[in-house]
Amino acid sequence: MKQYHTSILINASVDTVWNELVNFKDYPAWNPIVGKLEGAMEVGSKISTYIVPLKNTYSPVLTSYKVNHEMVWKGMQVANFLLAAEHYYRLKEISENQVELLHGEYFTGVFSYFLSDKLMKKMHNAFKQHNILLKQRIENSK
């Protein structure tokens, strides 16, 4: 299994961070990675996400949606045993006006072992950039 994890402290309430995180229609305005993210936020529902650098649309299934706490989706290529990815956002309230965003991805399946370190580092850096842009968007809108 390959994986990467990121975190960042955001100076805002958990409600504010969550509301911006799930404001999918505005993602293209601030997020150079995600060109589109839409779908019903109900566990078991498929969502649609267009990833700009990969020039591809994916349709993962929402596996967890806990308001102000966690959003997780899992997608696969052909079949779970070949390649699957579980993408997560988790919020940890540090204080009334500070939240830690935990953001990462796990890859499983036979093909996950062939994901290059270079690609993993590139994706890890993209997630870190996503976090920084989200933090700036939230903190600069106060």
Q: What is the mean pLDDT of residues 58-63?
A: 94
| Residue 124 domain boundaries | 2-139
Pairwise CA distance, residues 13 & 59, whole Å: 30
Convert 81-93 to b/e letters by CB count within 10 Å (16 or more is b): eebbbbbbbbbee
52 has a pLDDT exceeding 90: no
Q: Are 34 and 127 in contact (CB under 8 A)?
A: no
pLDDT confidence band for 128 (50 / 70 / 90): very high
Pairwise CA distance, residues 52 & 41, whole Å: 22
40 has a pLDDT exceeding 70: yes
Residue 81: partners with Cβ closer than 8 Å, 6 or more residues away: 109, 110
With 0.75 as the threshold, say if the pTM is over it. yes
18 has a pLDDT exceeding 70: yes
CATH number at residue 88: 3.30.530.20
Q: Are 44 and 61 in contact (CB under 8 A)?
A: yes
Q: What is the pLDDT of residue 90?
A: 98
Average pLDDT, the chain: 93
Q: Which among 123, 133, 117, 126 is positioned nearest to 10, based on CA atoms?
A: 133
Q: What is the pLDDT of residue 35?
A: 86
Q: What is the pLDDT of residue 142?
A: 66
- The count of domains in the chain is 1
